[in-house]
Amino acid sequence: MKNKTALEELDSKITLILEKYEILKEENRKLKESVELNRETEAELRNEILKLREEEELRILEIEDIAQRINQAIGKNNDFQISA
């Protein structure tokens, strides 16, 4: 009778370990999915940052060009007013 009880206890412990294993396995799967999703999101955000930096550089160049044109226009107007 004791042997049967010991076997039943062992069976219960094994069943419990297997249940815990399945739970941990599922948690691990979810964590892997989360990590992969975060990596994809990070890559998308990095690309967006690069795109925004490039756009900013272009805007700075445009502003510099506009400022240069304004300075040239002011310089030409000053030359015109001085010589008149």
Residue range 17-27, pLDDT digits in tens: 999 999 999 99
Choose between 17 and 4: higher pLDDT.
Answer: 17
Choose between 76 and 57: higher pLDDT.
Answer: 57
Per-residue confidence (pLDDT) for residue 10, from 0 to 100: 94
Residue type at position 2: K
pTM of the model: 0.58
Q: How far apart are CA 36 and CA 57, in angstroms?
A: 32
Please report, in angstroms and rounded to a whole number, the separation of the first and last CA atoms in the chain. 123
What does the angle CA 31 – CA 33 – CA 37 come to, to the nearest 5 degrees?
115
